[in-house]
Chain A
Amino acid sequence: MDQIGIKLRDVDLYYSSMSFKERSLKAAVLSFGKHRKNDLQDIHALKNISVEIKAGERVALLGRNGAGKSTFLKMLADLYPIQHGTREVHGLIRPLLELSLGFESEATGRENILYRGLMLGESPKQVRAKMDEIIEFADIGAFIDYPIKTYSSGMLVRLAFAITSSLEGDILLLDEIMGAGDFGFMQKAKQRIMNLIEQAKILVFATHDWGSAKDICQRGLLFSHGQIIFDGPIEDTITEYQKLLETENNNA
């Protein structure tokens, strides 16, 4: 598969629990010889995922919190390693995930535009060429020359969104960023995302907003407990999701 596309076969992904386990001397002494009931186990976050996404497809990921949507996106972005199966992703990935991360708090907004652009693979020349347009879109006024430790969380997201969304890519990964910033900015952001989506060959979009999912995507993947339980046209996926929610609510 040399052309742009995503092909996953029998993918399993486990969150390692080692990093969250209490490993202090105090814990070791107190638990010596005892079986700990609350000992953390590895989480089987994605189970036996097989899916193919071809160029031109717009795919929405639906499911409750913790169903595996964000993990799926991070796996596609090659951030999380898979334990079993095969993962083939062809094309330049442009992830719009965890927007408020990856800033140098001592650096100004202008400096951070450069660093984030470089992180995403641009050259300094390319970033500088887009600098004015990014600053205009972020619309944070004189704050652009202040250290970002002085920014509000909304301003941070606006800046991050303005930088990341100014760069084009083949495969766009979006994770619930429609709610970033105030109402005015949201309208601008939506328009910008629509333009990006038009330019991208593939869109994978995790959302709880069924309206946006219907407007943007033709295909939906429904996640539950780390598995894809439905893969089909977006309207059918939303219907399946509604049924799932009803069943879960009745069982609760």
Chain B
Amino acid sequence: MNRVKQYIVRIYASRYFWWNLTLADLRFKYRRSYFGILWSIFQPLALTMLLSFVMGRFFHVPMRRMAPYIFSGMVVWDLVIGSSMAGCTALVNSGSYIQLFNHPMAIYTVRSTLSVFINFLYAMIGVLVWSMIALPDNFGWSYYALLPAAAILFVWCWSGATVCAFAGVRFRDLPQFLVIILQMIWYMSPVFFPLDFFRNANLDCLLKINPVYHLLELFRSPLLDGVFPAWEHFAWSLCTAVALWILAVVFICCFERKTIYYV
């Protein structure tokens, strides 16, 4: 436990380095772009409008409710997929730093996750505004639940990215493999499809054991229903985040020292 504490202290000590690199990533991504980081809102928004129109007709759900459902699902899913994929190459891309200075390697997954997470936060502004306009009655105390939800989601994504980074640096096929796995999870998760779609097909049990469903509900309960998320959603999300975090710590302990030979 003392080793973990020391490691976290070292991550904190190098905070200026990874924070500035994160900001640099965002600057490079939108350099010379007219709308810049606003694309984080525009992109899912445009897709939401199209999908909510089509799927609302298909599943007979009013667009007023369907749009924030899809919008919230899309931004959370984009974060999960973006952080995992960026995690796969985080250490390989940081090879030149790793060969120069002995910083804790988790800072490189903090960097990759944070830049995707900042995009997510911008996109969430769009979700919030849309929800408040489309479903104004839901605005209230329950919105405070979004703060712990975002914190849990960050730990979830950073831990997943760290596991992917240490695995990806040794097994270069991981990104391709992960695309297939994530696609399968997407089909099993209510990212776009309404919950009734799964319930009508007697796939309730699939939802209950799917951590993505619980993560999504942390955001959708306050936004779409105006209520605090049920305790089981918090419990599932927190437990899976802690499990992923422990796995990330194990990967760091087992693989970090020799990673320099693989980058």
> In chain B between 110 and 136, which residues have their CB closer than 8 angstroms to a CB of chain A?
none
Q: Are B17 and A118 in contact (CB under 8 A)?
A: yes
Q: What residue of chain B has the Cβ atom nearest to residue A103's Cβ?
A: B96
Q: Are A78 and B102 in contact (CB under 8 A)?
A: yes
Q: Which residues of A contact B99 (CB under 8 A)?
A: 79, 98, 101-102
Residue A226 is within 8 A (CB to CB) of chain B in the complex: no
Q: Number of residues in B with C-beta < 8 Å to the partner?
A: 23
Chain B interface: which of A15-23, A135-143, A193-201, A244-252?
Answer: A15-23
Min CB distance B256 to A, Å, is 9
Q: Which residues of B contact A123 (CB under 8 A)?
A: 16
Q: Are A95 and B101 in contact (CB under 8 A)?
A: yes
Q: Which residues of A contact B17 (CB under 8 A)?
A: 115, 118-119
Q: Are B24 and A16 in contact (CB under 8 A)?
A: no
Q: Are B100 and A106 in contact (CB under 8 A)?
A: no
Q: Which residues of A contact B96 (CB under 8 A)?
A: 101-103
Residue from A16, A95, A103, A107 in contact with B28 in the complex, judged by beta carbons closer than 8 Å: A107
Annotate B3-42 by CB proximity to A: 1 below 8 A, 0 otherwise.
Answer: 0000000000110110011001000100100000000000
> In chain A between 125 and 140, which residues have their CB closer than 8 angstroms to a CB of chain B?
none
Q: Which residues of B contact A103 (CB under 8 A)?
A: 96
Residue from A16, A18, A120 in contact with B101 in the complex, judged by beta carbons closer than 8 Å: A120
Residue B258 is within 8 A (CB to CB) of chain A in the complex: yes
Q: Which residues of A contact B28 (CB under 8 A)?
A: 104, 106-107
Min CB distance A148 to B, Å, is 12
Q: Are B31 and A115 in contact (CB under 8 A)?
A: no
Distance in angstroms between the alpha carbons of A114 and B96 in the assembled complex: 16
Residue from B13, B14, B31, B261 in contact with A106 in the complex, judged by beta carbons closer than 8 Å: B31
CB contact under 8 A between A16 and B261, given known A106-B28, A119-B17: yes
Residue B197 is within 8 A (CB to CB) of chain A in the complex: no
Distance in angstroms between the alpha carbons of A80 and B260 in the assembled complex: 7
Residue from B20, B31, B258 in contact with A16 in the complex, judged by beta carbons closer than 8 Å: B258
Distance in angstroms between the alpha carbons of A95 and B97 in the assembled complex: 12
Q: Are A118 and B100 in contact (CB under 8 A)?
A: no
Min CB distance B252 to A, Å, is 14
Distance in angstroms between the alpha carbons of A23 and B211 in the assembled complex: 33
Min CB distance B177 to A, Å, is 13
Residue A81 is within 8 A (CB to CB) of chain B in the complex: yes
Q: What residue of chain A has the Cβ atom nearest to residue B256's Cβ?
A: A81
Q: Which residues of B contact A111 (CB under 8 A)?
A: 24
Min CB distance B142 to A, Å, is 39
Q: Which residues of B contact A (CB under 8 A)?
A: 13-14, 16-17, 20-21, 24, 28, 31, 96-103, 170, 257-258, 260-262
With A101-B100, A102-B99, A115-B20 given, can you name 10 additional A-B contacts, CB distance below 8 Å?
A: A16-B262, A18-B262, A77-B101, A77-B102, A79-B260, A104-B28, A106-B28, A106-B31, A107-B28, A118-B16
What are 17 A-B pairs with beta-carbon distances under 8 A? A18-B261, A19-B170, A77-B101, A77-B102, A78-B102, A79-B100, A79-B101, A97-B100, A101-B99, A102-B96, A102-B97, A106-B28, A111-B24, A115-B17, A115-B20, A118-B17, A119-B101
